[in-house]
């Protein structure tokens, strides 16, 4: 994946570097961050988890992950997973942010910017995001990033604490050229 650097109104998105491990641990090892993300996201989040994730990126060419920087400090990650085969042309968006900077519109800016980067750099028709029903802040992020609510998949997700919730699907289509 080529190096990415995108400046938005509130933050900078850039390709991860091997020296990002400590920065990742300092923001990801937080129960508030882990609460509504997939249980595949490790919690507690250790330095080994960060090193392993950073080392895995070169072998995952269909994963476009960038770190979010605020005034030079790492404060989150936003990812596009490019799907394949019968889902070719579709990508899934994921975003998480340090709880120290929630409520400043950063996730919405980062999500919008990476989605638009995806439309302009890959052969994508559609970007989608799955949100566990209690995560209303993530739904607001997606609405502010130009996504629309499309479907509710009843009782489709199990949260980290074992509770079962609806999966709310959001999508954004590539704008048609005139
Ligand atoms: C969900 C998440 C990405 C939102 O990031 P963010 O940068 O705080 O998002 P925004 O600043 O755009 O806020 C989105 C909404 O959250 C609410 N919100 C966020 N922080 C808040 C705070 N400190 N106090 C009150 N409301 C808050 C607001 O309703 C806001 O909408 P508004 O701008 O219309 O008022 C962030 O909370 C996060 O990383 N959570 C953990 C990981 C996660 O759940 N990721 C999403 C998986 S799908």
pLDDT digits (tens, 9 = 90+) for 36-66: 999 999 999 999 999 999 999 999 999 999 9
Q: How far is the CA of 85 from the centre of ligand 1 (A)?
A: 33
Ligand 1 atom index nearest CA of 108: 12
Q: What is the pLDDT of residue 176?
A: 86
Phi, psi of 59 (to 5 degrees): -95, 10
Q: Which of 79, 97, 103, 104 to mutate to test the pocket of ligand 1 (most atoms within 8 A of CB)?
A: 103
What distance in angstroms lies between residue 112's CA and the mean position of ligand 1's atoms?
14
Range with the poorest average pLDDT among 22-26, 46-50, 149-153, 173-177:
173-177
Residue 110 is assigned to a structural domain of this protein? yes
For 151-160, write each residue's pLDDT tens digit.
999 999 999 9
**Could you tell me the CA-to-CA distances from 114 to 6, 65, 148 in Å, in that order?**
8, 9, 16
> Per the domain annotation, does 14 fall within a domain?
yes
Q: What is the mean pLDDT of the chain?
A: 96
107 in ligand 1 pocket by Cβ < 6 Å?
yes
Q: What is the pTM of this model?
A: 0.96
Of all protein residues, whose CA lies closest to atom 27 belonging to ligand 1? 103
Per-residue pLDDT, averaged over 85-111, amounts to 98
Structural domain contains residue 151: no
Ligand 1 atom with minimal separation from the 109 CA? 12
The residue whose CA is least distant from atom 44 of ligand 1 is 36
> Is residue 87 a part of any domain in this protein?
yes
Residue 96 Cα: closest atom of ligand 1? 39
Å from CA of 59 to ligand 1 middle: 31
Q: Is 46 a member of any domain? A: yes
Would residue 37 count as lying in a domain? Answer: yes
Residue 153 lies in a domain: no
The count of domains in the chain is 1
Distance (Å, whole) CA 130 – CA 170: 6
Closest C-alpha to ligand 1, atom 21? 103
CATH of the domain at 108: 3.40.630.30
Instruction: Please report whether residue 9 resides in a domain.
Output: yes
Domain that holds residue 52: 5-130
């Amino acid at each position: 994946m080529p190096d990415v650097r995108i400046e938005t109104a509130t933050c900078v998105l850039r390709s991860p570097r091997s020296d990002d491990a400590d920065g990742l641990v300092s923001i990801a090892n937080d129960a508030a961050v882990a609460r509504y993300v997939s249980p595949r996201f490790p919690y507690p989040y250790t330095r080994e988890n960060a090193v392993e994730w950073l080392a895995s990126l070169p072998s995952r060419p269909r994963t476009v992950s960038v770190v979010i920087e605020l005034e030079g400090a790492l404060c989150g990650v936003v990812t596009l997973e490019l799907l394949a085969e019968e889902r070719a042309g579709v990508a899934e968006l994921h975003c998480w942010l340090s709880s120290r900077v929630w409520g400043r519109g950063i996730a919405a800016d980062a999500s919008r910017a990476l989605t638009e980067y995806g439309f302009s750099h890959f052969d994508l028709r559609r970007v989608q995001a799955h949100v566990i029903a209690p995560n209303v802040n993530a739904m607001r992020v997606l609405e502010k990033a130009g996504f629309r609510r499309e479907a509710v998949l009843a009782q489709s997700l199990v949260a980290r604490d074992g509770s079962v919730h609806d999966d709310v699907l959001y999508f954004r289509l590539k704008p048609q050229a005139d």
